[in-house]
Amino acid sequence: MNRASRRGKAVDDDSKVKRRANSLGRRGLGIATGSATAIVVALASSASAQVIPSTTDIVAAPWNAQKVFEPSGLLDLTPIDSRDEVQPEDVPVKQRQQPGYEPVGIRYGSWMFNPSLISGTLYDSNVFSSNTDKRSDIAAIISPSLRAHTLWERHGIDIKLDAASTIYRDNSSLDQTNASLKGNAWYDISHDLAVLTNFQISHLNEGVGTLSSPTNAISPTPYDLYSGDVSVRKEFNRLAASVGVSVASYDYGSTRAQDGSIINQDGRDGQIYTLHGRLDYAFSPLLGWFAGVEGNQRSIRGTPTQSLDSQGYRALSGVTFGMTNLVTGEVGAGYAQQDFSDPSIGVIEGPAYRARLMWRPTKLLDVHFNAEQIVTETSVTSSSGVQANALQLGADYELRRNVILSVMGTYEVDKFFGQDRRDVVTTTDARVKYLLNRFAAISVYHRYSDRNSDVSTFSYDKHQVGINVTAQF
């Protein structure tokens, strides 16, 4: 068999597996299966000031078993053997792979490998996210990655190894390198019963100016993250049920203050244990119901005078709808409670909500709206609990098959417990992605962030402008 024939057979085999995976609803892998250019979103947002991130992965069933508050999509009531292949124009604009622009990959036996390399530059108007010491700088970005996934008819493994280095021209204290190994695997016990797992081993950095960054820090805060999840999902005709358990372990290093002193962050070390479950029921192909609950135990070291341990839960129930491809999404409401051991923080509780909607007036335009409330903890000079409420509106437009325009705006209100503070965060994000061919792409972006805090020390605004070039195979 000649080289061209082997490549064609590999692509054809991969397409068959993808068609089967799509028919089972597995379009929402935690590891992105799209073009490597999607990584530029993360690279451009390393200094995000929000509790709730401005970009989120699309997670579809059955992977919502591990992220129970992500939209599941309606259960497909069509028999598996009768389901059609999902066409590119029926996939959200930012996730679709147009023929002729998908990565080729390197096949070895039943494995497919996709290497990529992103290089670019970033201009930041306020690198220290300060309202008194505003400094601009230019940084170089380089990010290699390698994705490996199986082509098995049943079961599957999907692994991704990546790194991202950011090197500043004038402020070397901000230099950082992130590296991670992530993986998903699933085992089909039967056509309607599956075991789902994921893991992550990462060395990451929390950017200066993020919500949890210590006061007056001039260097990123490094930390190691180890996490894993095991879930079981079962379908009963119109009903789908899942249950799982996860653990995440954090090990923080130290950062440096403006006066040269070391800021120890060991107090943020600890583990978060989570038990989660979800039910989905399809009344019809257009309307469904869901209920999700997640309980957590956060064992965080804290300081000798202040504990960050807490336990709590979040429960949501609502409707899932899909008016063909015109309007899809989920709207849920419920209750959340987080009980902190430290009496100065106390109990944060109240009604909770989450909505993720997508309107597709044409097959070239996606308009998406997100709204969410979450409760977490943060670390500034002292530690406290945070209740965050956010609204987000954005749009993705396919100008051409290989040119994608994206805009997004977010408004978030952060209420702090344990200190007298309330922040309002506004961000905008605009980007253009141009796919040259299967092997190269260019992305340019502009991001604006504004944090307006009752405590003036934490108020700042900044612009980030960048360009990235991607090489992939």
Which of 388, 386, 320 has its CA nearest to residue 356?
320
The Cα–Cα gap between 53 and 48 comes to 7
User: Which tens digits make up the pLDDT trace of 287-302?
Assistant: 999 999 999 999 988 8
Inform me whether the pLDDT recorded for 41 exceeds 50. no
Q: CB of 220 within 8 A of CB of 212? A: no
- Mean pLDDT is highest, among 323-332, 379-388, 389-398, 418-427, for 389-398
The predicted structure's pLDDT at residue 380: 35
Which of 401, 398, 443, 363 has its CA nearest to residue 120?
443
User: Which tens digits make up the pLDDT trace of 125-172?
Assistant: 999 888 888 999 999 999 999 999 999 988 999 999 999 999 999 999
The predicted structure's pLDDT at residue 290: 94
Q: CB of 199 within 8 A of CB of 185? A: no
How many domains, in total, are found in the chain?
Answer: 1
The predicted structure's pLDDT at residue 184: 93
Inform me whether the pLDDT recorded for 29 exceeds 50. no
User: Which tens digits make up the pLDDT trace of 341-370?
Assistant: 888 888 888 889 999 999 999 989 999 999
The predicted structure's pLDDT at residue 398: 95
The predicted structure's pLDDT at residue 1: 43
Both tokens assigned to 90 = 């029926």
Bond into 144 cis (ω within 30): no
Residue 35: Cβ-neighbour burial (10 angstroms; 0-12, 13-18, 19+): buried
The Cα–Cα gap between 274 and 402 comes to 41
Q: CA torsion, points 130, 132, 136, 141, in degrees to nearest 10?
A: -20
- CATH of residue 272: 2.40.160
Q: What average pLDDT does this structure show over 205-211?
A: 83
Mean pLDDT of the chain: 83
The predicted structure's pLDDT at residue 304: 77
Q: CB of 420 within 8 A of CB of 448? A: no
DSSP bridge partners of 278? 242, 292
Which stretch of DSSP H or E encloses residue 27? none
DSSP bridge partners of 385? 377, 417
Q: What average pLDDT does this structure show over 186-205?
A: 94
This prediction has a pTM of: 0.81
Inform me whether the pLDDT recorded for 9 exceeds 60. no
The percentage of the chain sitting over the pLDDT mark of 90, rounded to a whole number, equals 54
Residue 18: Cβ-neighbour burial (10 angstroms; 0-12, 13-18, 19+): middle
Inform me whether the pLDDT recorded for 383 exceeds 80. no
Kindly indicate the confidence band of residue 3, based on its pLDDT and cuts at 50, 70 and 90.
very low
Q: What average pLDDT does this structure show over 314-321?
A: 94
Lowest-confidence pick of 30-39, 87-96, 152-161, 361-370: 30-39
Kindly indicate the confidence band of residue 48, based on its pLDDT and cuts at 50, 70 and 90.
low
Kindly indicate the confidence band of residue 377, based on its pLDDT and cuts at 50, 70 and 90.
low
CA distances from 171 to 36, 218, 471 (A): 29, 9, 28
Inform me whether the pLDDT recorded for 26 exceeds 50. no
User: Which tens digits make up the pLDDT trace of 417-463?
Assistant: 877 889 999 999 999 999 999 999 999 999 999 999 988 888 999 99
Radius of gyration of the chain (CA): 22
The Cα–Cα gap between 377 and 310 comes to 9
Domain hosting 146: range is: 3-472
The predicted structure's pLDDT at residue 37: 30
